[in-house]
Structure 1
Amino acid sequence: MIVKNIHECVSVVTDKLLKKACVEEMNATAEQQGDEHKSDLTVSGDGTWKKRGFTSLFGVTSLIGYYSGKIIDLLVKSSYCKQCEPWKSHKDTTEYQEWWEEHKDVCSANHKGSSGKMEVDAVITMFKRSLEKFQVRFINYIGDGDSKTYSGILKAAPYGETEVTKKECIGHVQKRMGKRLRDIVNNTVEEMKDKNGKTKKKKLLGGKGKLTGKLIDKLTVYYGLAIRRHCDSVDSMYKAIWASYFHNCSTDKNPQHDNCPIGENSWCSWQKARALGTWPSYKHDYEALPPDVASAIFPIYEDLSNKKLLERCVGGFTQNNNESYNQLIWKITPKIIPAGSKIIEIAANIAAGVFNEGKTSLLYYMSAMGLSLGPNAHSYVSKEDAERISISDARAQGSTREGRMARRQQQLNILDANDEAEGSSYGAGIDDTI
């Protein structure tokens, strides 16, 4: 009964906060695009699951406004109901039919199918109810391509003949480069026999002087920067992506910097030397990609510089806000602790309130539950919010980001050096010497 009352109070307050966030997003859209587009919003969507993998009984999906950065709608999907469990073996009985008529409106199981489909179904449901609930349409959808959500939206046609436009999350597009490069290293192998006559596989593109983990990360970051820094133009993105490829293929005998930005302020040291007039004596201070590696990854760059893909990247969209919200949910109800749908809904709603309004939202929830709030409670949330903003500002500073990246790269260098010195120590059948 206590959980039920908390759930009802939290749900009512969160519903009001989400409607407030939607109004803010509408006003921000009007400022950026004009009043005629006020009700046609751009949102990013993402799902998270109670259990890692695709066997979770519960999932949470959120939609966040592009301009306000606030959660507009969320939905918890559940494929399990504790009250339904005892009736599984009695579904053909009259007693079950009588019970179901009373239970169906409060059943916590609102999803049928796989866990992976929870995100797809949840997004479609939120799109379909947007006109009734908020009097808006979600015309542009920022997705990650990890699920069939967008194709599901197109099939559902929530706004009739008006088609929803897909926008890509740049962070996830960048991850595609890293995954493709790692896959080609793992899949390009040659079978060899050791001195005992056993067959072993040798990676032809991996290892020292080839596609190491450090180099893959470097190429992936360059690819992401090429999109982020030129997200206002497909042609600029395309040129910058190929500039990063040919720049890393360049040698003193065969410089390939035609696509690199020119001038003294160019990130390309060769172009900088050319602008300063010192290029005749210029020496490349990095190792170029070996010819076999350059040739092998060329098709990957062709695929990931596809004009249709880059068109969906125009605008520089991201799902980082959704990822931050997902982490907040599982801080309130950790994945390692068992919980039912109502607890997860409470956590998702409270997380949405804190995400949108800060710790001040906790006062709204407590007030809705009938709790008395004194000056100390107000002072506490004000202090917490101020401290959170201060930490966020510090993390956003360029020097802090550069420091994090430098420490991460140093750790990768150490790991690569250890792998080269020690050889492979872990893998399927690696110790099977008999």
Structure 2
Amino acid sequence: MACKCEKEKEIDSCPKIGKAYEINRRLVFVMRLLGVGYEGYRIFCGLMDMGQGFALNTYYSILENIHSASSAVFDTVLSIAVNEEKEILQEQGKAENEFTLSGDGTWKKRGFSSLFGVSTLIAKYTGKVVDACVMSSFCAGCNLWKNEKNNDPVGYAGWLADHEENCTRNHTGSSGKMEIDAVVKMFSRSVDKHQVQYTTYIGNGDSKTFKGILNAEPYGEDVVVVKKECVGHVEKRMGTRLRNAKKSNKGIGGKGAGKLTDKLIGEMTKYYGLAIRRHPDSIEEMRKEIWATFFHKISTDSNPQHQNCPAGESSWCKWRRAEFLGEAEQFKHNKPPLSEAVQKVIKPIYEDLSKEELLSRCLGSETQNNNESLNSLIWTFAPKHLHSGPKVVEIATFLAVIIFNEGFEAILKTLETMGVKIGPQAKGYVQQRDSSRIDRSERRTSDVVKQARIAKREDRAALRDFQEEEEGLLYGPGIAD
């Protein structure tokens, strides 16, 4: 029976922002954090029996709102990070306008055929992002008009005049060059944007980014940017060189005493990295411990060569421990030494990777670990296996940097900027999430947990080696023939 009351009143089902419902903005924002796009949003609404959702134009309108809000908070977060780095430098008595930072690039698609790439710069002392740049070689509008410009040159000229300012394509050339162009761009704008110079760059030898910085001379001829190597990437060079040597020198690999096995390559690579990390302030000590591994592996009972191994009761070298106890003459080497053929092949590799020029760039044991951690966070918001446009990649970068620098609670600032009201449940959730993340990080960095993690990793590696030895080669070119 219909109500006949003249005082009938409509009540909105949720708050409004202007004429739009707040729930729509909140829903799209949360879906973006989950890496879900328009079609995923429609599946959710449909199967949750919440209706068919809103139109695509509405979705893009909300996406623009999210982009504007996250961009504004992103800029604020960067400024905070820069000021914090300046304060630390000032406390240490260093020039507050000369930053040491690590840089790295990541691509939307694996390999070098990606339409989108993201590069980030992270300050050394705060471990926070001070700049990020998204490179795009794709524009939906340009893609739509590329076939029409010959058919309708007048219409194309008119469209182009209005479009150039809003074109999302900011890169021409290969995907591999995106990182170089992005880092050079961020270096070139550091003075205008933050009133600082990036005088020391922590990078890797996998790209020509540093060469691009030197060629650009972002601070003129008088200021030369200094290169530092990422220790993790330098360590990988040893593994790569040893594996390549094994492939190109038949007979030195495989089973048998003194052979260059994959397990041995893994050990030598690991010890090479440890030698650098354990002596961040001394090139000589780095070199000494690097060669300790080589001579340790070629030692015999008749010719022990442990002069570079650390001395004392706590040494990792059993011969050195026996020496400390006065039992060196009775010591027996359990493992056979590397064969002369293997020694001849790998010695030049050790000579090359222990040169002063390389090790001097490893002083400080700097890494790009923070950049790589941020890279993985970016692609949780714009998954690599799903198509995304440049706006979505930029939103993913903004949100990732906001969370990386200031924690999940800073996401509430983005929602507030969008006009969304923050309730007690949302505030409580982000506080609990940040608290859990801090507790988890502290546990992971404790010595007990570290040792347990290392032991577990070594057990898995030992089991894998045992299984591979027992089962033999199962996969390989032409193995089934």
Alignment of 1:38-187 (within 5 A): 38-91=96-149, 93-161=153-221, 162-187=223-248
2:465 equivalent in structure 1? 416
Give yes or no for contact 1:207–1:420 (8 Å, CA) kept in 2.
no
Q: Does 1:26 align with 2:86?
A: yes
Q: Does 1:204 align with 2:252?
A: yes
Query: Secondary structure of the residue that 1:223 maps to in structure 2?
Result: helix
Give yes or no for contact 2:312–2:320 (8 Å, CA) kept in 1.
yes
Structure 1, 230-239 or 370-379: larger mean CA deviation = 370-379
What is the RMSD computed on CA atoms of the aligned residues?
Answer: 1.5
Map Cα deviations across residues 264-304 of structure 1 (whole Å, 9 max, x no partner): 23222222221221222222244432222222111110111
Distance 1:206 1:172 in 2: 26
Alignment of 1:280-295 (within 5 A): 280-295=329-344
2:408 to 329, 350, 359: 359
Distance 2:340 2:113 in 1: 44
1:276 equivalent in structure 2? 325
Runs of 4 or more consecutive aligned structure 1 residues displaced over 4 Å after TM superposition: none
2:270 equivalent in structure 1? 221
Query: Secondary structure of the residue that 1:54 maps to in structure 2?
Result: coil
TM normalised by structure 1 equals: 0.93
Map Cα deviations across residues 232-257 of structure 1 (whole Å, 9 max, x no partner): 01111111111121112112121101
Whichever residue aligns with residue 231 of structure 1, its letter is P
CA deviation after TM superposition for structure 1 residue 91, in Å: 4.0
Structure 1, 180-189 or 231-240: larger mean CA deviation = 180-189
Distance 1:327 1:422 in 2: 35
CA deviation after TM superposition for structure 1 residue 185, in Å: 1.4
Distance 2:346 2:240 in 1: 12
1:312 equivalent in structure 2? 361
1:372 to 394, 406, 421: 421
Distance 1:405 1:2 in 2: 46
CA deviation after TM superposition for structure 1 residue 415, in Å: 3.0
Give yes or no for contact 1:43–1:138 (8 Å, CA) kept in 2.
yes
Give yes or no for contact 1:131–1:137 (8 Å, CA) kept in 2.
yes
Whichever residue aligns with residue 271 of structure 1, its letter is R
Q: Does 1:303 align with 2:352?
A: yes
1:3 equivalent in structure 2? 63
Give yes or no for contact 2:252–2:341 (8 Å, CA) kept in 1.
no
Map Cα deviations across residues 282-336 of structure 1 (whole Å, 9 max, x no partner): 2224443222222211111011101100000011101000011011111122111
Whichever residue aligns with residue 64 of structure 2, its letter is K
Give yes or no for contact 1:213–1:412 (8 Å, CA) kept in 2.
no
1:382 equivalent in structure 2? 431
Identity of aligned residues (%): 50
CA deviation after TM superposition for structure 1 residue 216, in Å: 1.1
CA deviation after TM superposition for structure 1 residue 208, in Å: 4.5
Q: Does 1:348 align with 2:406?
A: no
Structure 1, 221-230 or 270-279: larger mean CA deviation = 270-279
Is there any run of 5+ residues in structure 1 with no aligned partner, and where?
A: 190-202
Give yes or no for contact 2:133–2:182 (8 Å, CA) kept in 1.
yes
Distance 2:422 2:114 in 1: 38
CA deviation after TM superposition for structure 1 residue 343, in Å: 0.6
1:193 equivalent in structure 2? none
Give yes or no for contact 1:127–1:138 (8 Å, CA) kept in 2.
yes
Is there any run of 5+ residues in structure 2 with no aligned partner, and where?
A: 1-60
Query: Secondary structure of the residue that 2:130 maps to in structure 1?
Result: strand
Map Cα deviations across residues 192-239 of structure 1 (whole Å, 9 max, x no partner): xxxxxxxxxxx5323344222221111111100100001101111111
Give yes or no for contact 1:79–1:111 (8 Å, CA) kept in 2.
yes
Whichever residue aligns with residue 228 of structure 2, its letter is K
1:327 to 376, 382, 407: 376
Which of the two has higher C-alpha Rg?
2
Give yes or no for contact 1:185–1:206 (8 Å, CA) kept in 2.
no
Map Cα deviations across residues 75-123 of structure 1 (whole Å, 9 max, x no partner): 0111101111121134462322221121111111111111111111000
Give yes or no for contact 2:132–2:186 (8 Å, CA) kept in 1.
yes
Give yes or no for contact 2:107–2:114 (8 Å, CA) kept in 1.
yes
CA deviation after TM superposition for structure 1 residue 425, in Å: 2.6
Map Cα deviations across residues 4-36 of structure 1 (whole Å, 9 max, x no partner): 11101100110110111011111112223x25x
Whichever residue aligns with residue 124 of structure 2, its letter is Y
Distance 1:253 1:216 in 2: 25
Query: Secondary structure of the residue that 2:102 maps to in structure 1?
Result: strand
CA deviation after TM superposition for structure 1 residue 398, in Å: 2.5
2:303 equivalent in structure 1? 254
2:27 equivalent in structure 1? none
| Structure 1 residues 178 and 270: alpha-carbon distance in aligned structure 2, compared to 1, 3 A threshold | same
